[in-house]
Amino acid sequence: MEVQETQVQTDRVLTIPNILSMARLAGVPVFLWLILWPEFGGPNCDGWALLVLALSGVSDYLDGKLARRWNQVSNLGRILDPAADRLYILSTLVGLTWREILPFWLTGVLLARELLLLVMVWLLDRHGYAPPQVNFLGKAATFNLMYAFPLLLLSDGSGWLASLAAVFGWAFAGWGTALYWWAGLLYVVQVRRLLKADAAAG
């Protein structure tokens, strides 16, 4: 007999998972500053930027896992977690595009997907619905991009390590971009069905 695990939700703000998500959000401007500092005459801090990005990845894994294990899933956490993911992706896009590591067309493709999702969230809000929850495909896309970006940052150099990082970085970037758009289109289908059912019920 299979026992179904029930998910308890809390309204508490200061939970360990939420604190981890807040710390991850606080790291976004630090990460962007570290990437862009060489462009403004500062030293190369790519190593520190990679460390911040790695710590954000660890906290991204831990906040969701701990929230479920300790029954600390919250409405705030549902907002903070995807917000931190998107802000890290946005800041990395800005930094790597500014340094000409990423081409403008790839940045445009990823930003267009974010714009599409913002439109879907706006439509849901107009009809009184909460934003769609992050699905497994969206998480997979984010993980691919979060692997791609540090590898591409590491590829901005010379030697065999930079060449190897470029190969794997672009592979992760390709898969991440495809999955990112796939997840976005699934959100569009989900929102369309929800609004269509709402219109039929009204």
pLDDT, one tens digit per residue, over 143-165 is 898 889 888 988 887 888 889 99
Cross-strand bridge partners of residue 10: 74
Which range has highest mean pLDDT (24-28, 61-65, 176-180)? 176-180
Confidence at residue 108, expressed as pLDDT on a 0 to 100 scale: 93
Q: pLDDT of 84-119, one tens digit each?
A: 878 888 888 899 999 888 999 999 999 999 898 888
DSSP assignment string, 22-84: HHHHHHHHHHHHHHHGGGGT----HHHHHHHHHHHHHHHHHHHHHHHHTT-EEHHHHHHHHHH
Confidence at residue 136, expressed as pLDDT on a 0 to 100 scale: 79
Residue type at 140 in one-letter notation: A
Which residue pairs from 32-38 have beta carbons closer than 8 angstroms and sit at least 24 positions apart in sequence? 32/91, 32/94, 32/95, 35/91, 35/92, 35/95, 35/96, 35/98, 35/99, 35/153, 36/95, 36/98, 36/99, 38/99
